[in-house]
Amino acid sequence: MGLASEFKEFAMKGNVVDMAVGVIVGAAFGKIVSSMVGDVIMPALGKVTGGFNFSDLAVTLGKDPTGKDVLVKYGAFIQTLFDFIIIALVLFIALRAINRLKKPPAAAAPPPPEPPAEVKLLTEIRDLLARR
């Protein structure tokens, strides 16, 4: 079996294709969430906090040899942290819903089996004797 045919067989397995689709959809979803956080949530949060822009938060460490400021942009980190929290929350809710669909509903316990005829007869005799 040649290298090309082995690779084709590997790439066409269901799990690999499913994983590839998941990665592509996940990357697109990540961009959507990043846009929502950066363009909707953070500006609104900035407005609530008095026009504060989180992406501008940084600490200056000094200047590099070309004279530019060297910055630690912790505001960008805060924005990325919000991205992660939203993505994790949405994934949790989605997986929770999927797991509920997979789990069969709890079935009621089946009724106990009917006792054999001999046991019924002996129970009736016992009850008659107890009444006397």
CATH number of the domain bearing residue 88: 1.10.1200.120
Q: Do the domain assignments include residue 24?
A: yes
Q: What is the pLDDT of residue 130?
A: 92
Q: What is the mean pLDDT of residues 42-51?
A: 78
Q: Do the domain assignments include residue 132?
A: no
Query: Do residues 17 and 58 make contact, with C-beta atoms less than 8 angstroms apart?
Result: no
Quote the pTM value.
0.50
Q: What is the pLDDT of residue 1?
A: 66
Q: In angstroms, how far is CA 113 from the centroid of its own chain?
A: 43
Mean pLDDT (the chain) is 82
Q: Which domain holds residue 27?
A: 3-105
Query: Do residues 57 and 75 make contact, with C-beta atoms less than 8 angstroms apart?
Result: yes
Top pLDDT among 42 and 129 is at 129
Q: Is the pLDDT of residue 47 over 70?
A: yes
Q: Do the domain assignments include residue 118?
A: no
Count structural domains, the chain.
Answer: 1
C-alpha span between 114 and 84 (Å, rounded): 58
Q: Do the domain assignments include residue 7?
A: yes
